[in-house]
Structure 1
Amino acid sequence: MKKRFIAAIMIFLLLAALLASCNSGGNTDTSSAVSSENSDTSETVSTPKWEYDPEIPETFDGEGKDFTFLVVGGDNEAYHSVDIGSWGEVTPDVISEAVQERNDFIEEELNIKIVVEYQLGGNITTYIRNMVDSNDDTYDVVMPFINDASALAMDGYLIPLADGETLNLEGVWWDQNANEQLTVGNVLYFTTGDISMLDNDCTQSIMFNTDLVSELNIDDPYELLKSGDWTIDNMISMAKTATVMNNEFAPTSYKNRWGLHINVNGATGMYIGTGERLTSKDNEDYPQIALGTSRAATAFSKIYELMHDSSYCIIIENYNDEAKGDGFVNCYRAAAEQIAKKNALFRVMSMSDTDRLLEYDCNYGILPMPKLDSNQDKYYSLVSTLAVPGVCIPTTNSDLERTGYILDAMAAKAKELVTYAYYDVKMKNRIANDQNARDSLDIIFDSTVYDLGVVYDWGSIRSFINNAATASSNTYTSQLDAAKTSIQAAIDQTVEDFKKDS
């Protein structure tokens, strides 16, 4: 009996040991499974460092050295470069934060220190000349306004950008319109793109009051834009409908409700919008006068008639004294208020002028310049390069390989961060706050025109259309005949200078 009891106890203990062993094994397996499961869930999906990959070699190391930009800026400067570094209070917070985030990323990723120094726009070219003449290699990249950069290029102070073999000029972060149109003899000395925002700010366009369109029950300009029928004639028709003269004001007063406010420079912008050019290029990529075609004369005549038809159009500069007498800083501020308060239908402007409408509670839209007619292939938007910084490499730069990689990295990250802040937040979400306006902005910025005549101003060709359009009579052909000789002589000299250096 006792033996059977002991045997039973032993069997019980053996079973208990087996159960303990099984439980121990099970716990081990479960622990392993849990550990494995936790390991799987704790893995994070890696976010790519680059939304737009500049393909910088993994071996690249900036060794913590400075990479120095010289840009336009100063207390008395109307247009500051705020896209390489911030300039005081002129930089909107959303832009400043994006620029800083980009710079922090590039400094850490490439192991460099970004340094930004400023010069006034009127001084920067002289400063660059003196720097190069004294073999001062402080600056890796200089960014004068494009029109000033043209003189530096002609005089041999800049390196062709293609000489920097690591610089990927075909990258989506560079403006391909600028790359194609700013060459002379197939050589590109300066360009722009996502590394800068002033090219967008200085693009010409038209704003309109959307509420006034609805109240007048006229054609929706956005629908005309989509169908390809946003033309000068259709704009004029709507402007005439919108114009109302108020007996309280003089017939020339801006306080009447005008269909169209246009600034003097808007004449050239509208001319470029018709698909015409001040200059074109020959088969060797050298500039030539483009003003002499019959279509150019037709386009100009349409613009001349528009600017002189006081039944619907008023020239903004003509009411500067009246506007200042009414307490405005200048006529351009007054023009913005007329759009905001539904006292104007259309206003020709640069993109930077849209900032003024943030001061008002109003609904407005943005359009490219109208076509000459519906047969025109596409819309075109002039960039006023007078205040657009150009990315330039001075001849004192001795490390083009390093410069190319860093510029691509800066521009690529700017496309992801800074352009988003400017375009998608500042412009689309804050200013152009509907889908039609967003689509219109895409058309405007995709159709930019960099006319070499505006850049180099051969024989004062830059102001030719503006001056002819505001003359007391339409003498386009005779004015062109009188100007051709000096324009062509200046072009020939530029071509000779570039061929000499090639």
Structure 2
Amino acid sequence: MKAFLCRCLPLLLLFALIFTALAACATEPGGASGASEAGGASSGAESAAEGFPLEEKNFGGKEITVLCVDRHTYGVMQFVPDSELKANAVNDAVAERNNLIEEKYGLTIKAVGENFPIETLRLAVTSGIDDYDMICDTMMGMMPLIPENLYLALDDYIDISHEWWDQNANELLTLNDKHYLLSGDAIITDDDYTYLLLYNKTMYADNAELSGKYGDLYDLVREGKWTLDVMYEMMKAVAEPDETGAWSENATYGMAGSINIGNVFMNAGGYLPAERTSDGGIAIALGKDANLAAFDRVYDLFSDSTTTMLVERYPQNGWDIVNTAFQEGYALFYSTNASSISIFKNAEDEVVSFGVLPNPKFSESQDRYYHTVNSGNSSVLAVASTNVENVEATCYLLELLGYYGKHTPFKSINDAYYETTLKLQAVESDDDAEMLDIVFGNRIYDIYTMMPWGSSPTLGQIYGQVLTAGSNTTVSLLESKRQEIETDIQNTLNEFSKLN
């Protein structure tokens, strides 16, 4: 993502660019348990700012059909604009991009929205129907089905090293030597479902002890001093029971979230529940000493019902209760997806003044901040295996979508997404945009959590289940599941090996 200041060009300069263009045409502490797999910078080494680097082609008006999620605000809109929607930054940016691609490259996009696109594609492929050229659906839905040959291996068609493709995704979203799934600047539904922290600016400022000691939280992040221990100190400092002395939904908490917070914060330290082995296998890392010690810290923070409110602790309407608690100022921090920013922005009721923060480091010596991509909602792209006649055009379009999601003579869809996301009540600072750049530029694709290894709880669900178990049962729960999980892992590896 470009830095936010680059997105704030004066309008005259923006118009000048338009007309000119149209005229021209953790290693610490989790190094042994997965941090090395988290990837480096999320963009490729090259820069294509001077122009689209591929040979210019015109496909004479060829239509490419994308099967996509219609239950997300931007699921369809990121491909095709809504003609009835007026004055929407993302919608307008998509329209401009599509017009340019059609006029210059002779490609048009048709979007087919479905609740569960992967099931529609699965039926089409097994029936030999080639109605869909490409698909955009959730990682959790698409990744486990790679062995079913639903998608093309893209290595011979797309240069995945281009800077608009997320290199972390390229490294982690595969279990063999081929790449089937893409994430990056071509879409915005990957960003919208990345975990981050929101914080209550008013609550923090009003706590003289905390704000006096730590000052500007954005500076704390920049200095690399935003850590788990600092966050926990703040959580404890603001937590108060309700007026009856109970820790109810009317109490004030340091943190709001769901049991996903277990995986989110383990990933924030660079820890993954499994790891690749030197012989190409996968070993469970969740039970290693370093991981267990790290989860002890996470467990102490978020199993404490006097500092953390979790959705799952409320038998009914848990999500509404937690969302409302933060919205109305009863929680200092909220561990949530980036999509919550737009939700709060569009809320009819008043929302507390809040800002954006990355997930904290486990210690100041950790190399960077890590952010989990929500595999159940965040999207990836793939080309349908039944796509024979339109393969070249489809892959060329994917490169165009990626390039023009990053480099445009007009406002890109990613710029428009930032603008839409950040225009909040009392949140219009460049600081928040800088924090989003940190979040989106340092993402973890936890493939081991999204794979269905073991019956419930799966390998990826163990941390969440333990958080509400009443005691830290990680070791005993893992050992009771280990054989089943290891069998499923080996079966998955066998299936992927057949694709090589």
TM-score calculated relative to the size of structure 2: 0.82
Matched letter for residue 426 of structure 1 = T
Structure 1 portions without partners, runs of 5+ = 1-43, 322-329
Q: Does 1:63 align with 2:50?
A: no
Give how far 1:101 is off.
Answer: 1.4
Instruction: Determine helix, strand or coil for the equivalent of 2:383.
Output: coil
Q: Does 1:308 align with 2:303?
A: yes
Instruction: Determine helix, strand or coil for the equivalent of 1:483.
Output: helix
Match of 1:135 among 128, 135, 156: 128
- Alignment check: 8 A CA contact 1:84 1:195 kept: no
Match of 1:226 among 215, 222, 228: 222
Give how far 1:106 is off.
Answer: 0.8
Listed one character per residue, the Cα deviations across residues 395-453 of structure 1 (whole Å, up to 9, x for unaligned) are: 11224333221110122112341001002x12344475223222211111111000111
Name 1:275's counterpart in structure 2.
270
Give the Cα–Cα distance (whole angstroms) in 2 for the partners of residues 52 and 100 of structure 1. Answer: 22
Name 1:371's counterpart in structure 2.
361
Matched letter for residue 436 of structure 1 = D
Give the Cα–Cα distance (whole angstroms) in 2 for the partners of residues 52 and 384 of structure 1. Answer: 33
Give the Cα–Cα distance (whole angstroms) in 2 for the partners of residues 138 and 313 of structure 1. Answer: 48
Listed one character per residue, the Cα deviations across residues 105-130 of structure 1 (whole Å, up to 9, x for unaligned) are: 11111112211112221xx3332122
Give the Cα–Cα distance (whole angstroms) in 1 for the partners of residues 85 and 470 of structure 2. Answer: 40
Listed one character per residue, the Cα deviations across residues 127-182 of structure 1 (whole Å, up to 9, x for unaligned) are: 21222233322222122322221233111221111131xx2211222111111111
Give the Cα–Cα distance (whole angstroms) in 2 for the partners of residues 270 and 490 of structure 1. Answer: 25
Match of 2:204 among 200, 206, 213: 213
Listed one character per residue, the Cα deviations across residues 323-377 of structure 1 (whole Å, up to 9, x for unaligned) are: xxxxxxx443443443343322111111111223323353211112222222222
* Superposition map of 1:379-458 within 5 A: 379-398=369-388, 399-415=390-406, 416=408, 417-423=412-418, 425-430=419-424, 432-458=427-453
Give the Cα–Cα distance (whole angstroms) in 2 for the partners of residues 92 and 477 of structure 1. Answer: 54
Instruction: Determine helix, strand or coil for the equivalent of 2:95.
Output: helix
Match of 1:148 among 131, 138, 141: 141
Give the Cα–Cα distance (whole angstroms) in 2 for the partners of residues 352 and 232 of structure 1. Answer: 23
Give the Cα–Cα distance (whole angstroms) in 2 for the partners of residues 451 and 404 of structure 1. Answer: 26
Match of 2:479 among 464, 471, 481: 481
Q: Does 1:157 align with 2:150?
A: yes
More moved, 278-287 vs 46-55: 46-55
Instruction: Determine helix, strand or coil for the equivalent of 1:144.
Output: strand
- Alignment check: 8 A CA contact 2:371 2:444 kept: yes
- Alignment check: 8 A CA contact 1:333 1:356 kept: no
Match of 1:470 among 460, 468, 471: 468
Name 1:351's counterpart in structure 2.
338
* Superposition map of 1:323-334 within 5 A: 330-334=317-321
Give the structure with the higher percent helix. Answer: 1
Name 2:3's counterpart in structure 1.
none
- Alignment check: 8 A CA contact 2:143 2:173 kept: no
Q: Does 1:120 align with 2:118?
A: no
Name 2:195's counterpart in structure 1.
204
Structure 2 portions without partners, runs of 5+ = 1-18, 26-47
Matched letter for residue 429 of structure 2 = D
Name 2:45's counterpart in structure 1.
none
Give the Cα–Cα distance (whole angstroms) in 2 for the partners of residues 70 and 135 of structure 1. Answer: 16
Cα distance change on mapping 1:455 and 1:191 into 2, 3 Å: farther
Give the Cα–Cα distance (whole angstroms) in 1 for the partners of residues 20 and 188 of structure 2. Answer: 33
Q: Does 1:104 align with 2:105?
A: no
Listed one character per residue, the Cα deviations across residues 33-71 of structure 1 (whole Å, up to 9, x for unaligned) are: xxxxxxxxxxx855665957332323x221222111111
Give the Cα–Cα distance (whole angstroms) in 2 for the partners of residues 213 and 156 of structure 1. Answer: 51
Instruction: Determine helix, strand or coil for the equivalent of 1:101.
Output: helix
Q: Which of structures 1 and 2 has the larger relative contact order (alpha carbons within 8 angstroms, sep 6+)?
A: 2
Matched letter for residue 354 of structure 1 = I
Name 1:33's counterpart in structure 2.
none
Give the Cα–Cα distance (whole angstroms) in 2 for the partners of residues 356 and 394 of structure 1. Answer: 32
Give how far 1:92 is off.
Answer: 8.4
- Alignment check: 8 A CA contact 1:201 1:352 kept: yes
- Alignment check: 8 A CA contact 1:243 1:312 kept: yes
- Alignment check: 8 A CA contact 1:371 1:379 kept: yes
Give how far 1:307 is off.
Answer: 2.0
Instruction: Determine helix, strand or coil for the equivalent of 1:163.
Output: coil
Listed one character per residue, the Cα deviations across residues 276-301 of structure 1 (whole Å, up to 9, x for unaligned) are: 01222234655432212212111111
Instruction: Determine helix, strand or coil for the equivalent of 2:314.
Output: helix
Give the Cα–Cα distance (whole angstroms) in 1 for the partners of residues 414 and 87 of structure 2. Answer: 13
Give the Cα–Cα distance (whole angstroms) in 1 for the partners of residues 297 and 83 of structure 2. Answer: 44
Give how far 1:188 is off.
Answer: 1.2
Instruction: Determine helix, strand or coil for the equivalent of 2:181.
Output: coil
Give the Cα–Cα distance (whole angstroms) in 2 for the partners of residues 232 and 125 of structure 1. Answer: 37
Kindly, what percent of the aligned residue pairs are identical? 26
Cα distance change on mapping 1:228 and 1:396 into 2, 3 Å: same
Cα distance change on mapping 1:462 and 1:54 into 2, 3 Å: farther
Instruction: Determine helix, strand or coil for the equivalent of 1:113.
Output: strand
Name 1:187's counterpart in structure 2.
178
Instruction: Determine helix, strand or coil for the equivalent of 1:237.
Output: helix
Listed one character per residue, the Cα deviations across residues 216-262 of structure 1 (whole Å, up to 9, x for unaligned) are: 021243233222222221111111111122324x6121212212222
